[in-house]
Amino acid sequence: MPDKPKLAIYWAASCGGCEIAVVNLHEKILDVDAALDLMFCPCLMDTKRKDIEALPDRAIAVTLFNGALRTEENLEMARLLRRKSQVMVAFGSCAKGGCIPALANFSTREDLFRSIYLDNPSVENPDAIIPCGTTSFPEGDIHLPALLGRVKHLAQEVDVDYYIPGCPPESHQIWNVIEVILSGDLPPKGSTIGCGTLTVCDDCDRTKEDKRIPAFRRNYEFYPDPKACLLEQGLLCMGIATRSGCGAPCTKANMPCSGCYGAPDGISDQGAKMVAALGSVMDIGDTVGLSEAEISGRVSAFLSTIPDYAGLFYKYTLASSTLGGKVGR
């Protein structure tokens, strides 16, 4: 037992879906257990933080770190596990790009506190108490991990060796990565692994033809043709700006890709790339003879059917996007 390389799986600001994806290895989890000593996973096991602190540095062979960095505690655990690990993997879209927790970056921390603790009609808070790191009582001070000003992804705070995208990563890809790790033939540091390099369209076997969309439509409005490209049917399918490797399970289930594998190779900003792609397939009809103002009006009317472009385009990557969230003042 003591000779097996140690594996840690930690969750920071996350939902637990990444752990489920690991368990979804099914019987292969036995192979993982045979080869690696899973010694830290708060979701599944009772190892404590002090047990990790007691380890020598670099004692853990691989840490799969899932979740974004929302609180000071997340930050401390990221730094601790980085110190104790030989290989640090940003596991899943929260650790890679911020994912759902990072949608909070559309607001400032102060805005969040105001709407949750002060201006919320169902909250009675006459003393205007909001979370803070240290609170003083007559008996002494108590400390709770404070919220960071912004949700961050792992690589903003610690050195990351590899990235595995997905919300959650597909189990067959987790297995591929474990095989690579066990083989010892590791890819170059900084690689995004357990995925492809192209887009989800490459995985998706729907029929693709000319893309000219007369209107954007939303999922509830109609039942899409199960054979034809969903984007061509007007759904804002993120597949064109999303990394391949998942096998396109969403489009197979007649749902548009929501972009969880993040940007493909060579793309720095998934949302900007969606704007580029959709801007070139919108069909506003014949504009000959129209004034510039009339053309702009048509474009605005076309775009008005979707209420939240940024939330859709940056659902999984806001923390790692070019602007990183709402700009400051």
Partner 1 sequence: MSAQSDLQGFEPKIVGFLCNWCSYAGADKAGGMQTPYPPNVQVIRVMCSGRVDPQFVLSAYEKGADGVIILACHPGDCHYKEGNCRALQRHAMLILVLDQLGVEKERCRLDYVSAGEGEKFNRVIGEVVEAVRSLGPLQLSRENIA
Nearer to partner 1, 138 or 307 (CB): 307
Binding residues for partner 1 (CB under 8 A): 105-106, 109, 148-150, 152, 267-269, 271-273, 275-276, 278-280, 282, 284, 287-288, 290, 292, 295-296, 299-300, 302-303, 308-311, 313, 321-329
CB 209 to partner 1: min, Å: 19
Nearer to partner 1, 16 or 149 (CB): 149
Shortest CB 184 distance to partner 1, Å: 37
Task: Closer to partner 1 by CB, 225 or 265: give it.
Answer: 265
- Nearest to partner 1 of 45, 301 (CB atom): 301
> From the CB of 91, what's the least distance to partner 1, in Å?
23
DSSP annotation string for 218-248: -GGG----SSB-TTTTTB--GGGGSBS-S--
* C-alpha atoms less than 13 angstroms from C-alpha of 38 in its C-beta half-sphere: 19
Alpha carbons 178 and 140: distance in angstroms, whole number: 48
The secondary structure of residue 118, as a DSSP letter, is: I
Q: Which is nearer to partner 1, 71 or 173 (CB)?
A: 71
- Give the chain's end-to-end CA distance (angstroms, integer): 55
CB of 308 to partner 1, least distance (A): 7
E strand or H helix at 136: strand 134-137
- For residue 20, report the phi and psi dihedrals to the nearest 5 degrees: -60, -40
* Least distance CB 23 / partner 1 (angstroms): 34
Angle at CA of residue 260, ends 208 and 304, nearest 5°: 70
Q: Cα(79)–Cα(154) distance, rounded to whole angstroms?
A: 10
d(CA 84, CA 233) in angstroms, rounded, equals: 50
Q: Tell me how far, at minimum, the Cβ of 291 lies from partner 1, in Å.
A: 9
Q: How far apart are CA 289 and CA 142, in angstroms?
A: 70
C-alpha distance from residue 85 to each of 6, 89, 257 (Å)? 9, 10, 34
Of residues 6 and 273, the one with the C-beta less far from partner 1:
273
**Minimum CB–partner distance for residue 299 and partner 1 (Å):** 5
122/280 with CB nearer partner 1: 280
List of residues 6+ apart from 9 with CB closer than 8 A: 18, 19, 22, 38, 40, 41, 43, 44, 63, 64, 66, 91
